[in-house]
Amino acid sequence: MDDDGATFVSPYDGSRLRVTPEDAVRNQARLGADVLMCLDHPVAHGTDDDAARAATDRTHRWAERCRAAHPGEGRLLFGIAQGGFDAGARRDSAQFISGLDFDGVAIGGLSVGEPVDTMLAMTEASVAELRGDRARYFMGLGTDSELLGAIALGVDMFDCVVPTRLARNGSALTPDGRLSLRNSAARDDFGPIDPDCPCAACTGFSRAYVRHLFQSGEILAHRLVSLHNITHLARLMEGARAAIRGGTFASFRSDRDGRLRSAPR
């Protein structure tokens, strides 16, 4: 990292790729993205205050450059708030980025190994300074209880590798927690992953057959469990949205969290 941009090194051949804030915006537009993200500089949990402050200042300068390079053309541009792991710095960064009038603001640099309580406290500090009429987006969050915790603080959108990464490892998300489809217990289980799920995996295949696919090295296993996990999270969001509209989100969250806590391990 330097003030002009970031240099990435290929893990395959060692070649270097230089990306400036302007490059980041243009490249996403060339790929046909509907939502473009600013280039930002997150820091690891445990980074000292001076380094975190420098990275946040750099993120702010890059956000201004991304804003100037925004091509428009019906595409949305989101800024990214940083601030490390200090609540005051988080509020200041969110206020600065929100003031640049982006189409939405992402809360970046969290869910990177810090304790969940810290993550939620930093999220709360950020959300407090974000506009209520623009999308508020948490980058990199994808487990049921953490998603519901962030929604309770006012976050609107999420992305995460969790549903597909778990699927590659044979784990399915269910209302009762994660289900390992590689375990021998699934060998003779001819029920669906989740009897209430409408996805292609649950309506067309048994746990036993999906386990057989994993044991056989069939890529269909990854595809089916990925579809299931994404459907699970989409349905969780649908339930949360309906609960918010009905004024029952607190009980919805409590019920879902209680079900996860009581599930056998």
- pLDDT (mean) for 208-221: 98
Q: Note whether 176 and 150 are same-domain residues.
A: no
Average pLDDT over residues 85-92: 98
Element (H, E) at 239: helix 219-246
Whether 111 and 168 share a structural domain = no
- Choose one of 131, 160, 189: the last residue of a domain: 160
Q: Which of 160, 180, 197 is the last residue of a domain?
A: 160
Please state the rounded mean pLDDT for residues 123-152: 96
Q: In angstroms, rounded to a whole number, what is the distance separating the alpha carbons of residues 222 and 168?
A: 5
**Does 135 share its domain with 43?**
yes
Exposure b/e, 160-170, CB count within 10 A at least 16 = b: bebbbebbeeb
Question: Can you tell me the mean pLDDT for 13-28?
Answer: 97
Same domain, 150 and 202: no
Instruction: Provide the domain limits for residue 219.
Output: 164-262
Query: Are 144 and 169 in a shared domain?
Result: no
pLDDT confidence bin for 104, thresholds 50/70/90: very high
Residue 203's H or E segment, with its range, is helix 200-204
Q: What percentage of residues in the chain have a pLDDT greater than 70? A: 99
Among candidate residues 103, 134, 160, the one where a domain is terminated: 160
Q: Looking at the structure, tell me whether residues 173 and 218 fall in a common domain.
A: yes
Q: What pTM, to 2 d.p., does this model score?
A: 0.91
Q: Supply the pLDDT for residue 261.
A: 80
Q: Please give the pLDDT value at position 264.
A: 58
User: What pLDDT is attached to residue 240?
Assistant: 98
In a domain, 1, yes or no: no
Same domain, 178 and 144: no
Report how many domains make up the chain. Answer: 2
Residue 172 and residue 136 share a domain: no
Is residue 27 pLDDT above 90, yes or no? yes
Instruction: Give, for 19, the enclosing helix (H) or strand (E).
Output: strand 16-19
Cα distance between residue 184 and residue 30, in whole Å: 47
Q: Which two structure tokens, joined as six digits, stand for 229?
A: 């996990």
